[in-house]
A and B are shown apart, each in its own frame.
Chain A
């Protein structure tokens, strides 16, 4: 069935360094790939998204890359800061416009 695999499950980086989270998806019809950030006790919130007609999108310190041939997409956070600590979820749309979610990555920024 449709699934999205997300790695790693936990990522610890030094403040100021970069963080990369990777996802792979199985449904070749997927055309929308959002990334959500969920802080402890809060709701998931969209931080960046990309559609299948674009290979890369950037917004200040965050960027997402998409490789449709390989069916994988990645989130890149540069110059990490303490407030980047959270759980990050990737998702991919299916042919029914639902989002198939990854299991999440807990990002820890070490001071």
Chain B
């Protein structure tokens, strides 16, 4: 398996633009997680899906952030409109079942100017 796949790997955009990050989990994994990592705040869980259903989105910063998982092999995280403080590395991770090892994707480095 290729592991968790994320695209794009780098994204530079201007404030106010819409940003869409994409993730393909490992085939057969039932749980998918979106994280944000910054120096100041460390690794933060944004939202967690199990069997394509959002279980906990309490980590989503505000209404500008939204996430979907239309099927077991694809998820998106959208920021609209983007702001400079959204600049971070966004990781997607998947696990076989709840409570098991999470495998991280390579991350998307987002820069909002």
Contacts and interface: CB of A to CB of B under 8 A. Distances in A.
Specify whether A and B are partners.
yes
Interface of A: 31-32, 34, 42-46, 49, 89, 93, 96-99, 101, 103-104
B105 interface: yes
A34 B101 contact: yes
Contacts, number: 39
A96 B56 contact: yes
10 contacts: A34-B102, A42-B106, A43-B105, A43-B106, A43-B107, A45-B104, A96-B56, A97-B99, A98-B45, A98-B48
Interface string B94-111: 000011111111110000
Closest 6 CB pairs of A and B: A97-B98, A43-B104, A97-B99, A101-B43, A103-B42, A46-B101
Contacts of B12: none
Q: Find the residue from A42, A89, A96, A104 having the highest chain B CB count within 10 A.
A: A96
Contacts of B104: 43-45
B43 A93 contact: no
Contacts of A101: 42-43, 45
A104 B55 CA distance: 26
Given A32-B100, A44-B91, A101-B45, 19 more contacts: A32-B99, A34-B101, A34-B102, A42-B106, A43-B91, A43-B105, A43-B107, A46-B102, A46-B103, A49-B101, A93-B99, A96-B55, A97-B99, A98-B56, A99-B45, A99-B102, A101-B42, A101-B43, A104-B43
B85 to A, nearest CB: 20
A42 B101 CA distance: 18
Contacts of B106: 42-43
A48 to B, nearest CB: 10
Contacts of A34: 101-102
A93 B101 CA distance: 10
Nearest to B41: A103
Nearest to A93: B99
Contacts of A45: 104
